[in-house]
């Protein structure tokens, strides 16, 4: 089992968490009581984010919902920093520690009673002709979808440089196994266990084109090309959309980085939590 260096811990708090700053400081005090260093700040605190990006910490504790975990993953994964999420949202597909049990989780962490789960991530690149306009790390999904016009997109998909198929759909999702329980699940896709290392390709509202999900191998390179001449966008993990033009390409591959999550439950936790969450059907009004 990988062992974390807990000498310095950062706590990232979503700004919408009630009493978030206070709870963050309570966690810092509890960590310091064990003779370890800790600092707390807001999720968008640029100074603290800069320190995390400079690898001053090996562990980041997040207070928020699944969206907070995604944002922390974008920040931490490229630097090999592990994430311990505490659920202050409603859903918590990625989170096993409840808001009222962070003290118990912290004690287990200090005692070494944890394991690290590595979640596959994707890399998405935006190309226009021979110019690369952007690159992103992806925890859940990269989505190429229609813009403001209520018209389906024409998208071609190629696999490892060879034509695969053409879609007429509202959107096309390229998801990780982690993302299979996010937008892809809402679009009718299969649930993949987080230990898999595959890319899930799934159309949203396809019209007279292939309507099934395709599970691709880890080494696959997927290129999604916009064939429509009306508005299209690229969205990474639900963040602000990037405008796409006709003939723009989004190239998706498996990232060299992984999201490392601190876990305390046995490895079979995923299905137990999944069934519980789906049975509860929690409110969509969550802190993300």
CATH of domain 122-256: 2.60.200.30
Q: Is 66 a catalytic residue?
A: yes
Considering the entire predicted model, what is its pTM? 0.91
Q: What is the pLDDT of residue 282?
A: 53
Mean pLDDT within 142-153:
90
Q: Could you report the per-residue pLDDT of 68-124, keeping only the tens digit for each? A: 999 999 999 999 999 999 999 877 889 999 999 999 999 999 999 999 999 999 999
Residue 286, pLDDT > 60, answer no
Q: Could you report the per-residue pLDDT of 240-250, keeping only the tens digit for each? A: 899 999 999 99
Residue 277, pLDDT > 90, answer no
Q: What is the pLDDT of residue 90?
A: 75
Residue ranges of the domains in the chain?
Answer: 8-114+264-280, 122-256
Please pick, among 5, 45, 66, 170, the residue that the annotation labels catalytic: 66
Long-range CB pairs of 83-88, under 8 A, 24+ apart, other chains included:
83/59, 83/259, 83/260, 83/261, 83/262, 84/59, 84/60, 84/109, 84/261, 84/262, 85/61, 85/261, 86/61, 86/62, 88/14, 88/17, 88/18, 88/20, 88/63, 88/64, 88/287
Beta-bridge mates of residue 156: 166, 225
Class of domain 8-114+264-280: alpha beta
Residue 1, pLDDT > 60, answer no
Q: Could you report the per-residue pLDDT of 13-36, keeping only the tens digit for each? A: 999 999 999 999 999 999 999 999
Per CATH, 8-114+264-280 and 122-256 having the same topology is answered no
């Amino acid at each position: 089992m990988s062992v974390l260096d807990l000498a310095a811990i950062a706590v990232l708090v979503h700004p919408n968490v009630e009493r978030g700053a206070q709870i963050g400081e309570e966690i810092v005090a509890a960590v310091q009581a064990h003779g370890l260093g800790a600092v707390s700040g807001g999720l968008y605190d640029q100074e603290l984010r800069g320190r995390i990006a400079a690898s001053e910490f090996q562990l980041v504790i997040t207070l928020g919902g699944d969206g907070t975990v995604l944002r922390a993953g974008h920040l931490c994964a490229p630097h090999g920093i592990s994430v311990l999420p505490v659920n202050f949202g409603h859903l918590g597909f990625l989170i096993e520690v409840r808001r009222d049990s962070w003290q118990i989780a912290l004690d287990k962490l200090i005692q070494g009673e944890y394991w690290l789960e590595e979640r596959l991530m994707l890399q998405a690149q935006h190309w226009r002709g021979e110019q690369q306009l952007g690159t992103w790390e992806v925890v859940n999904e990269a989505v190429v979808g229609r813009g403001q016009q209520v018209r389906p997109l024409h998208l071609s998909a190629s696999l490892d440089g060879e034509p695969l198929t053409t879609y007429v759909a509202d959107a096309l999702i390229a998801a990780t196994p982690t993302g299979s329980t996010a937008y892809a699940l809402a679009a009718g896709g299969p649930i993949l266990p987080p230990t898999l290392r595959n890319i899930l390709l799934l159309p949203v509202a396809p019209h007279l084109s292939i309507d099934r999900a395709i599970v691709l191998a880890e080494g696959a390179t997927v290129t999604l090309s916009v064939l429509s001449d009306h508005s299209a966008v690229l969205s990474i993990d639900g963040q602000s959309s990037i405008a796409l033009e006709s003939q723009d390409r989004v190239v998706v591959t498996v990232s060299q980085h992984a999201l490392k999550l601190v876990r305390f439950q046995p490895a079979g936790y995923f299905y137990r939590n999944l069934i519980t969450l789906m049975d509860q059907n929690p409110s969509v009004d969550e802190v993300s």
